[in-house]
Amino acid sequence: MKKFALKILIIIFIFSLTKCVNASSTTTPLFVLKPSTVIQGEPVIITFENVKISEIKNITYDKKSLNIFLYNNKPTAFLAVDLYQKSNIYEVSVILTSGKIIKNNLTVNERTKKVEPMAVPDKLGGNSSSNQRAVVSELAKENTELSKTFTGKKAFWTDKFVWPVADHFVTDEYGYTRQTGIYNISHKGLDLRAKAGTKVVAMNRGVVRIAKNYQTYGKSIVVDHGLGLSTIYMHLSKINVNVGELVKPGQVIGLSGQTGYAEFPHLHLSIRINQISIDPEKFMDFFD
């Protein structure tokens, strides 16, 4: 009798196990946008559920392909909404290797853009209109060079991103416009309070692609985290790393300062996803 009861139990166990397997194999693959409503210049983290990274053929937003990597053991992608992306509802579309297509909507709302005047400091030749033109054209040139930075074919990081300065405090936010004479310069990064000589650390594991003294960006470092993601540290007083060097999260890579187009010591931080500079504060929210 005991044996019979045991057999029944085993049968029930196997039956429920098969049910479990069936349930998970029929669970629909999906992806979640966090957040699904943003304003211009904000990033989105996309997390996949019930699908392996090898089963995802392609993910696109506004007809551009996004890079997929593993984070917390789940296929993940970052999406960058440009500061000047038209406000609208955009489709994020995924094609699986099975041929199945999954779609989600991303709502992009208008950002209220503040405008503030900013003079060219005396150390860069003063605020004459010809000098304003020279500074703006130099900025464009340096920006073009930064935009061509090489990026690795895999993610170099696995853990959370950390702030580049201890006790970070934002003195100038992302996304407003600085008016220099007749020119508008978008502030596509964050200014963090940092006394001259404050230690600046790498926000995550990555490879140094640029370590250079620019005329307007000052002493700058670009760390490539792979797959189009980079962090940029500007106006430094000292650079401690060399191009090609692999840096660890939290490693001191330089000291803050006010080199280049900066009127007081601070750290300018930019984060780029496929060369689109997004609001670093929103990016860091992903790792709370």
Cβ nearer to Zn ion, comparing 127 with 186: 186
Q: Which stretch binds Zn ion (CB under 5 A): 86-94, 123-131, 158-166, 188-196?
A: 188-196
Contacts 24+ apart (CB under 8 A), 24-27: 24/50
Q: Which stretch binds Zn ion (CB under 5 A): 154-162, 195-203, 250-258, 267-275?
A: 267-275
Adjacency order of strands within the sheet including 30-34: 30-34, 43-49, 74-80, 68-71
Q: Which stretch binds Zn ion (CB under 5 A): 76-84, 101-109, 184-192, 194-202?
A: 184-192
Rounded to a whole number of angstroms, the minimum distance from the CB of residue 75 to Zn ion is 34
Residue 285 to residues 39, 176, 228, Cα–Cα distance (Å): 15, 20, 19
Among 42, 191, 224, 279, binds Zn ion (CB under 5 A): 191
* 194 in Cβ contact with 126 (< 8 Å): no
Rounded to whole angstroms, the Cα distance separating 207 from 110 reads: 34
Among 188, 209, 219, 268, binds Zn ion (CB under 5 A): 268
282 part of the interface to Zn ion, by CB under 5 A: no
Cβ nearer to Zn ion, comparing 78 with 176: 176
Cβ nearer to Zn ion, comparing 205 with 272: 272
Residue 38 to residues 85, 95, 215, Cα–Cα distance (Å): 11, 24, 34
Q: Which stretch binds Zn ion (CB under 5 A): 86-94, 123-131, 151-159, 262-270?
A: 262-270
205 part of the interface to Zn ion, by CB under 5 A: no
Rounded to whole angstroms, the Cα distance separating 270 from 128 reads: 28
**Amino acid in position 107:** T
Calculate ∠ Cα 209-43-163, nearest 5°.
55
Cβ nearer to Zn ion, comparing 104 with 186: 186
219 part of the interface to Zn ion, by CB under 5 A: no
| Interface ranges with Zn ion (CB under 5 A) | 191, 268
